[in-house]
Structure 1
Amino acid sequence: MIPTERNASPRGLLTEDLCKIRKVGTALLAPAGDDLVYHVSVADIVQNEYDDLIILVSANRTAKTVLGHGAAHTWSPDGSELLYETGNGELHIYTVKTAASRFLAQRHDSSFFFNHLALKNVIWSPDGQYIAYLSADFSSETENSEIRVIDDLLYKSKGGRGRPVYADHACTHLYLVPAAGGSPVLLTPGPYNEHSITWASDSRHIAFISNRTSRPDDIQQSDVWTVDTQTLKITRLTQHKGMTYQPAWSPDGSQIAFLAVSGHFGTNDSTAEDTHIGLISADGSNFRYLTKSFDRRIEHIRWHPSGKHLFFIAGDHGDTSIYQVNIDKEEITMVQGGTGCIYEFCLNSSGEEMVFIKSDTNRPAEVFLTSNHGTVMEQITQENTAWMETKTLQQASTFRFRSFDNLSVQGWLMPPVGFTATQKYPLILVIHGGPHNMFGHNFDERMHLLSQAGYAVLYINPRGSHGYGQTFSNGTILNWGGGDYQDLMAGVDFVLKEYSWLDAKQLGVTGQSYGGYMTNWIITQTSRFSAAVTDGGISNLVSFAGTSLYHSLMESEFGGRACERFDLLWQWSPLRNANRASTPTLFLHGETDNEVPFSQAEEMYTALKKQGVHTTLIQYTGEGHGWRPDLNPRSKADLNERMIRWFDTYVKAATP
């Protein structure tokens, strides 16, 4: 596909536009009635922080009200009240009719990290009488702040500005409080952590997820448990060899659905094994999987009020859509999809309407409403419409190519803003993280910033990416930097052959997290790129296995304890081949990054510096891992500006 030429002087996305993007999420449709709340994160460049707004939209869509700052959790069963949480953990109930809020309880958050799919949610009982929530039980004992005693494995936290670098010793437990107000009651005491809670229809039993193995900081296994809120009896429902996530009790209380993987080596990070929907009877019997035949990664499950279907989200070839599975026949059909990426959704009490968050290549996420099984769709919010109309953003075209072993691989190519067919343009390869993430038809600021800067942007889903089935997702197992590297290089070769307006002499490469690992790997395997930018990347799998919050990832990906796999981990470490690198490389890394520790950048930077490669290391004080929302606005703008300047210096200056 040849991109459209433009005669005007277009203006694409600039770094100063990043603070204008209003990030929309968590839309909750009232169970009865059409009131809607959603979340918007807004950058404050002066205060160098983000403000989280909770916005209420009236039933007739004519009025919007900022009802609070923080996060909305759940509507009351009759839709007359909304429970939300402030930034400091206070739970409040907002009454729609009076537009007034009342304090309910104080929630405390532990810095201990469970896993990416763990929910610290707050839920309203079906009868409207009680609210269950998760809170940490901090000890009154004080520790010597000058001496840190470490006696467990998961002692690090997801460090970032305003967040602890080290995990505390508090356990997160389940509490119950009357919705009318009163003293909270602890339901699940003991030396364990609970998360991801769901009410039974009897308003008496609550299901939750807990890792109660003999060594929960080491053994990444978890099960579905229940607690009786009257007798406080705790019961284990599953005997699952693997990880379980996000249980959801059926409307009639007879069954519990949940997400699960069955791998022997679990991990609190991105797993190669796709999550699927497991289903058990309320007593723990009759376990079965509902979605194995679908062969895609399942997320965000919700019951239809009839109890006959479960809705869920899954990625497929770069698009993320809403599907439903019939409980009896296990038949799966798409409910809402097409080009674009849907992140989450919410049903009303009848199941006939749902709201969801969706973005596409050229539009940041907004709230949409659909009814009649997806045949009618309405965009509810216009948070980014006005300023986006002043921008000229290029559309990415998707393509497929055959890799070295004839495997079909999907990629996207975005031309530069102001494209003219008679010119030659430099090309930047952008690599995703994970390694099991998925690029697709979603809004990615990096692509548009690079496009505005005069670059064509190539991004590819190499083997290891999800959205193409379990076999494809397994493509990096025991083989980081092997087949996926060859996929990426085959993709570069393909577009250079197919698109004559690309300049093969002006190539750059960048990636974040695992994409940073691949960037480090690429510069040790080939000199074809004129410049590289590594953002939060891994360089040494051996030291990573001993210092990362995600040390279990190495066990999951390489099939055993790191000490038993040192030869293999070193084989696939970019640092091992650093003496081959000659590509000018910029390293960008957060100071308090415990997911990929800052030392990973130091090791690679030092190795390149000692052999005379042009390299610079940028440390962002107090920042954690990568492009997540906790990266402050100024740091985020600086990171992008440095990336573009580095490419301008070394890629555009390369001899054509």
Structure 2
Amino acid sequence: MIPPETKAPARGLVTDDLHKIRKVGAPLLSPASDDLVYHVSVAYLDGNEYHDEIILLLADSAEKQILGHGNAHAWSPDGTEILYETESGELHIYALQDQKSRFLAQRHDSTYFFNHLADKNCTWSPDGKYIAYLSADITGEENSETEEVRIFDDLLYKTKGGRGRPMYADRAYTHIYVIPAAGGTPVTLTLGTFNEHSTTWSPDSRHIAFISNRSSQPDDTQQSDVWKVDIETKTITRLTEHTGLTYQPTWSPDGKNIAFLAVSCTFGTNDSTAEDTHIALISAEGGQFHYITKTFDRRIEHLRWHPLGKYIYFLAGDQGCTSIYRVNVENEAVEIIQGGSGCITEFCLDSSEEDFVFVKSDTNHPAALFKTINQSKEIEQITHENADWLQTKNLREAETFWFQSFDSTFVQGWLMPPVDFDETQHSPLILVIHGGPHNMFGYDFDERMHLLSQAGYAVVFINPRGSHGYGQAFSNGTLGNWGGGDYQDLMSGVDFVLEQNAWLDRDQLGVTGQSYGGFMTNWIVTQTSRFKAAVADGGLSNLVSFAGTSLYHSLMESEFGGRAYEQFDLLWKWSPLRNAGKVTTPTLLLHGETDNEVPFSQAEEMYVALKKAGVKTRLIQYKGEGHGWRPDLKPRSKADLHTRMIAWFDTYVKATVNEQ
């Protein structure tokens, strides 16, 4: 045995660890007990794929039961059965008493993309008699990848790409179906040339509210409203009528009102808006709705009514933390219920109606399930899916800092030292930039940071203007201005950490980012030569061509206030490609082959320009991969991508001046 004093120090995160990370989510508590169902996303290297395991954890047993691969949708109102869906779209009901499943219905999923907050949920009626689910009317007339000719006469003709999706969307519409929970023949409640999603039952089980875009040009006009349908007469009633988008309705326990998320914007988008989502309340009979969280001034998601109807619980990000809050429906007072350093992504109330089960991660720990006890006086961790391998790792904490940017705006960032940090030695520094542009960095587990830290780099990550979590004015900071104030925020943040930390080497800087972070990486190398290397992952380079080729063509309208042909000069002004001739920084471009969110052509345009300008550059295409937020990459693609990123920085950042 090696004496303790001679043992090698623990390593940080390496690419071989990525497949070990088990991602926990989607907790559902029984309405009648503390029985819990949730899922765990597991990487399978042999098949180079991920599967979601449906896990049942009974209150009176420490043993976990795996119900299968797929996702759980709902408990029966009496807590004796679970509605779940297999990976092939089959709906099944699992009975706790006999531990058997029975087939209920086949659900079909369209490849048409609604928006990031659309919920294709399956729900149990409060009286326990019916299951409502969303399914596409697959007819066989969808676009085929094998046809010699394709004809397009709509605007949203592309899928998101990746994850085994075809490149082009089918022509199927998604509608609401109901079926007896005991089994039987499904009945279609909604028909026609519109899509429905995000359903919620009325407490009396007579109506279902839902979201639909029923404008004259739903592919072009990103507007949506709350509707309801009578399950007996199939009568559909429009409840809201406004300029903007609505999301995720949920019926009040007394049946009088419906709460939902909304934004009120002239130019909507199927991507994320600059406008923060807020809770709106409307009578179940329709009429004018009103916002009840505008004074809170933070972006809101994940609504849950308290069973007594006095409060609505929700999630919101604030200065890098995502916490559970609640709003008093009567006086609109908002208070934090469960927070602290970390990011809560999902939660549910327990049967006592006073405590929670929630999903939370922090800088050094992937997401796990926790529960509060005695009205949040205590917190207990339920799952420990990553505990064994984490014990063998040395993961650095990231410390937050604030600085004043070029115009005296206060901006927040974080600095993570390398695993082998030695204050007497100079360390290279990598700037990592988030996507969006309205995402938020913070106290969340990000694999890139730890991989770079283990590779010997300090990592700085910043929430520049445009990020959410700092109020609406800050979130609006990139409107009509991609690469202006946000670029200056990032450069000011880099200057600040270099001034405050003498152990950082200002001559060994690198920059990387994904999606909008990839755009900003491309932009940065056209504005400055201070970075020795850049890695643009799924980034934009030409906003003009993006506006005509991306699934999110409406994003350019939402961010720049008009059609691309009306804002051509402005879009070209903020396109990295416009200044590609000024680049000297060695730049690696990583991109998914079937990415329709940020098309592969965006990387091609930048690559060709840099190559012709004589810049050291390389383009890596990941076959069959889309945009997909890098956690969705296949296991081997994810490992390869991060390996190439680190190797590029090792080659050009760590090299001495003479070597370059």
Category of TM-score, reference length = shorter chain: over 0.9
Instruction: Determine the structure 2 residue equivalent to 1:121.
Output: 121
The 3 A distance-change label for structure 1 pair 251 and 371 is: farther
Cα distance in 2 between the residues matched to 1:178 and 1:394: 53
Q: Secondary structure at the match of 1:197?
A: strand
Corresponding letter in the other structure for 1:87:
E
1:254 equivalent among 239, 244, 256: 256
Aligned-residue offset at 1:285: 2.6
For 1:547-606, what per-residue CA distance to the aligned partner results, in whole angstroms no more than 9, with x for missing partners? 000000000000011110000000000000000000000000000000000000000000
Aligned-residue offset at 1:349: 3.9
Instruction: Determine the structure 2 residue equivalent to 1:77.
Output: 77
Aligned-residue offset at 1:630: 3.2
Corresponding letter in the other structure for 2:128:
G
Cα distance in 2 between the residues matched to 1:184 and 1:430: 49
Aligned-residue offset at 1:252: 1.0
**Contact kept in structure 1, 2:511 and 2:533, CA below 8 Å:** yes
Instruction: Determine the structure 2 residue equivalent to 1:28.
Output: 28
Q: Are 1:368 and 2:370 an aligned pair?
A: yes
1:266 equivalent among 257, 268, 275: 268
2:464 equivalent among 438, 457, 462: 462
Corresponding letter in the other structure for 1:9:
P
Aligned-residue offset at 1:350: 3.8
Cα distance in 2 between the residues matched to 1:213 and 1:183: 31
**Contact kept in structure 2, 1:512 and 1:626, CA below 8 Å:** no
Corresponding letter in the other structure for 1:432:
H
Aligned-residue offset at 1:331: 0.5
Cα distance in 2 between the residues matched to 1:347 and 1:131: 21
Cα distance in 1 between the residues matched to 2:276 and 2:230: 32
Instruction: Determine the structure 2 residue equivalent to 1:336.
Output: 338
**Contact kept in structure 2, 1:160 and 1:630, CA below 8 Å:** no
Instruction: Determine the structure 1 residue equivalent to 2:445.
Output: 443
Q: Are 1:99 and 2:99 an aligned pair?
A: yes
Instruction: Determine the structure 1 residue equivalent to 2:58.
Output: 58
**Contact kept in structure 2, 1:426 and 1:503, CA below 8 Å:** yes
**Contact kept in structure 1, 2:10 and 2:392, CA below 8 Å:** no
The 3 A distance-change label for structure 1 pair 39 and 268 is: same
**Contact kept in structure 1, 2:34 and 2:351, CA below 8 Å:** no
1:173 equivalent among 154, 175, 182: 175
**Contact kept in structure 1, 2:240 and 2:288, CA below 8 Å:** no
**Contact kept in structure 2, 1:91 and 1:104, CA below 8 Å:** yes
For 1:160-196, what per-residue CA distance to the aligned partner results, in whole angstroms no more than 9, with x for missing partners? 0311211110000000000000000000011100000
Instruction: Determine the structure 1 residue equivalent to 2:606.
Output: 604
Instruction: Determine the structure 2 residue equivalent to 1:202.
Output: 204
The 3 A distance-change label for structure 1 pair 436 and 141 is: closer
Corresponding letter in the other structure for 2:10:
P
Cα distance in 2 between the residues matched to 1:491 and 1:451: 19
Cα distance in 2 between the residues matched to 1:600 and 1:476: 20
Instruction: Determine the structure 2 residue equivalent to 1:109.
Output: 109
Q: Secondary structure at the match of 1:563?
A: coil
Map 1:399-410; keep pairs closer than 5 Å.
Answer: 399-410=401-412
Corresponding letter in the other structure for 2:444:
N
The 3 A distance-change label for structure 1 pair 142 and 384 is: closer
Corresponding letter in the other structure for 1:468:
Y
Aligned-residue offset at 1:371: 3.5
Q: Secondary structure at the match of 1:564?
A: coil
Instruction: Determine the structure 2 residue equivalent to 1:224.
Output: 226
Instruction: Determine the structure 2 residue equivalent to 1:474.
Output: 476
Instruction: Determine the structure 1 residue equivalent to 2:3.
Output: none
1:526 equivalent among 528, 539, 542: 528
The 3 A distance-change label for structure 1 pair 626 and 123 is: closer
Percent of aligned positions that are identical: 72
Aligned-residue offset at 1:386: 1.0
Return structure 1 stretches of 4+ with deviation > 3 angstroms. 140-144, 626-630
**Contact kept in structure 2, 1:123 and 1:133, CA below 8 Å:** yes
**Contact kept in structure 2, 1:478 and 1:557, CA below 8 Å:** yes
Instruction: Determine the structure 2 residue equivalent to 1:243.
Output: 245
Cα distance in 1 between the residues matched to 2:155 and 2:262: 24
Q: Secondary structure at the match of 1:209?
A: strand
Cα distance in 2 between the residues matched to 1:447 and 1:106: 42
For 1:13-63, what per-residue CA distance to the aligned partner results, in whole angstroms no more than 9, with x for missing partners? 000000000011101111111100111010011110012100011103511
Map 1:562-573; keep pairs closer than 5 Å.
Answer: 562-573=564-575
Q: Are 1:631 and 2:633 an aligned pair?
A: yes
Aligned-residue offset at 1:99: 1.1
Map 1:525-564; keep pairs closer than 5 Å.
Answer: 525-564=527-566
1:650 equivalent among 646, 649, 652: 652
For 1:469-497, what per-residue CA distance to the aligned partner results, in whole angstroms no more than 9, with x for missing partners? 00000000010000000000000000000
Map 1:372-383; keep pairs closer than 5 Å.
Answer: 372-383=374-385
Cα distance in 2 between the residues matched to 1:96 and 1:270: 40
Instruction: Determine the structure 2 residue equivalent to 1:3.
Output: none
Aligned-residue offset at 1:456: 0.1
**Contact kept in structure 2, 1:304 and 1:351, CA below 8 Å:** yes
For 1:429-466, what per-residue CA distance to the aligned partner results, in whole angstroms no more than 9, with x for missing partners? 00000000000000000000000000000000000000
Q: Are 1:41 and 2:41 an aligned pair?
A: yes
Aligned-residue offset at 1:72: 0.6
Structure 1 gaps, min length 5: 1-5
Cα distance in 2 between the residues matched to 1:628 and 1:93: 33
Corresponding letter in the other structure for 1:407:
T
Aligned-residue offset at 1:351: 1.5
**Contact kept in structure 1, 2:597 and 2:627, CA below 8 Å:** yes
The 3 A distance-change label for structure 1 pair 134 and 57 is: same
**Contact kept in structure 2, 1:505 and 1:654, CA below 8 Å:** no
TM-score of the pair, normalised by structure 2 = 0.97
Corresponding letter in the other structure for 2:24:
V
Aligned-residue offset at 1:9: 2.1
* Aligned residue pair count: 651
RMSD: 1.2
Aligned-residue offset at 1:68: 1.4
Aligned-residue offset at 1:286: 4.5
**Contact kept in structure 1, 2:244 and 2:264, CA below 8 Å:** yes
Instruction: Determine the structure 2 residue equivalent to 1:412.
Output: 414
Cα distance in 1 between the residues matched to 2:630 and 2:589: 17
For 1:279-330, what per-residue CA distance to the aligned partner results, in whole angstroms no more than 9, with x for missing partners? 0011013411010000000000000000000000000000000000000010
Cα distance in 2 between the residues matched to 1:283 and 1:654: 70
Corresponding letter in the other structure for 1:97:
Q
Instruction: Determine the structure 2 residue equivalent to 1:490.
Output: 492
Aligned-residue offset at 1:141: 4.1
Cα distance in 2 between the residues matched to 1:95 and 1:136: 27
**Contact kept in structure 1, 2:159 and 2:169, CA below 8 Å:** yes
Aligned-residue offset at 1:654: 3.6
Aligned-residue offset at 1:352: 1.7
For 1:223-279, what per-residue CA distance to the aligned partner results, in whole angstroms no more than 9, with x for missing partners? 000000001000000012100000000011110000000011000001100000000
**Contact kept in structure 1, 2:143 and 2:169, CA below 8 Å:** no
Instruction: Determine the structure 2 residue equivalent to 1:614.
Output: 616
Structure 2 gaps, min length 5: 1-5
**Contact kept in structure 2, 1:22 and 1:43, CA below 8 Å:** yes
Cα distance in 2 between the residues matched to 1:209 and 1:629: 28
The 3 A distance-change label for structure 1 pair 312 and 66 is: same
Corresponding letter in the other structure for 2:269:
T
**Contact kept in structure 2, 1:9 and 1:418, CA below 8 Å:** no
Cα distance in 1 between the residues matched to 2:63 and 2:39: 16
Aligned-residue offset at 1:655: 3.0
**Contact kept in structure 1, 2:143 and 2:170, CA below 8 Å:** no
Aligned-residue offset at 1:12: 0.2
The 3 A distance-change label for structure 1 pair 151 and 254 is: same
Corresponding letter in the other structure for 1:565:
Q
Q: Secondary structure at the match of 2:632?
A: coil
